[in-house]
Amino acid sequence: MNIPSFQLDGKVALVTGGSKGIGFGMAQALGHYGAKLVITSRGVEEGENAVAQLKEENIEAVYFPCDVTKKDQVEQLVAKVVDHYGSLDILVNNAGMNIRKPLVEVEESDWDQVLTVNLKGLFLIGQACSKQMIKQNYGKIINISSILGTVGMQFQTSYAASKGGINQLTKVWAEELAPHNITVNSIGPGYIKTPMTKEWLSDPERTEWIINSTMSKRIGETSDLVGPVVFLASDTSAYVTGQILNVDGGWTAR
């Protein structure tokens, strides 16, 4: 039997929203398994600091700023990645945000902002990267969804709609791109400690409720996503496509 490897030596990975939180943790994980990294985000200083930290860990990495909601910037980003490294093998489509409000208080602008970053941005990046991956006849696309793509929860109108959309896009793209040797999967994290959730998790009552709702009885860490992202980025997952892998301490299984 041919035993495929988890190693990513020689592979080029683009991580959107890679300057902090889940994206940075995933970039570290892919880098430690041998991938060469491109980090992108809007905040240049944070992005360059993230790349400096990766380099300290002996990971080859470069920072290119990009707002994922702007098609021209997205196309320029993909061109820069290919110009710099010669290929684009792994995409972690991670940039995202949230505005939590009761349904009756959601402004039209809240809805537009969340859907534009989380869903349109993910689509634009996925489309531009797919064009390059089709040329290479190889690619691994990992869309970062959420447990809220699967389950409902109060105050998450816009966010849950965006993440449900991501799960559906994942299945559509998986079928379209399979003939080009490209797998497409989603990771749906549960609550993970990051800058995005810092304030939300600062309320002890809410934290207790989350812990009690989770089979593993703890909040997740970015390190909990290392195994899942490396698996989906490597050739060990060659026969896995169109799947939603919830990494949530059992939340969605309850």
Ligand X SMILES: NC(=O)c1ccc[n+]([C@@H]2O[C@H](COP(=O)([O-])OP(=O)(O)OC[C@H]3O[C@@H](n4cnc5c(N)ncnc54)[C@H](OP(=O)(O)O)[C@@H]3O)[C@@H](O)[C@H]2O)c1
Q: Which two tokens stand for residue 189?
A: 């994290």
By C-alpha distance, which of 117, 195, 207, 216 is closest to 159? 117
Contact partners, residue 171, CB within 8 Å, separation at least 6: 242
What is the amino acid identity at position 254? Answer: R
Q: Which two tokens stand for residue 253?
A: 């299984």
Binding span for ligand X by CB under 6 A among 11-19, 102-110, 150-158, 226-234: 11-19
Active site residue 138: no
Task: Tell me which residue has tokens 């690619």.
Answer: 139
Contacting ligand X (CB under 6 A), which of 11, 35, 37, 69?
69
Distance CA 63, CA 246 (A): 29
* Residue 126 touches ligand X, criterion: CB under 6 A: no
Q: Which two tokens stand for residue 112?
A: 């537009």
* Residue 48 touches ligand X, criterion: CB under 6 A: no
Q: Are 74 and 68 in contact (CB under 8 A)?
A: yes
* Residue 96 touches ligand X, criterion: CB under 6 A: yes
* Residue 191 touches ligand X, criterion: CB under 6 A: yes
Contacting ligand X (CB under 6 A), which of 130, 156, 183, 194?
194
Catalytic residue of the set 33, 85, 159, 191: 159
* Residue 94 touches ligand X, criterion: CB under 6 A: yes
* Residue 67 touches ligand X, criterion: CB under 6 A: yes
Closer CB to ligand X, 177 or 225, in the complex: 225
* Residue 249 touches ligand X, criterion: CB under 6 A: no
Distance CA 167, CA 11 (A): 25
Contact partners, residue 204, CB within 8 Å, separation at least 6: none
Binding span for ligand X by CB under 6 A among 37-45, 128-136, 171-179, 235-243: 37-45
Residues that bind ligand X (CB under 6 A): 16-17, 19-23, 41-43, 46, 66-69, 94-97, 117, 121, 144, 146, 189, 191-192, 194-197
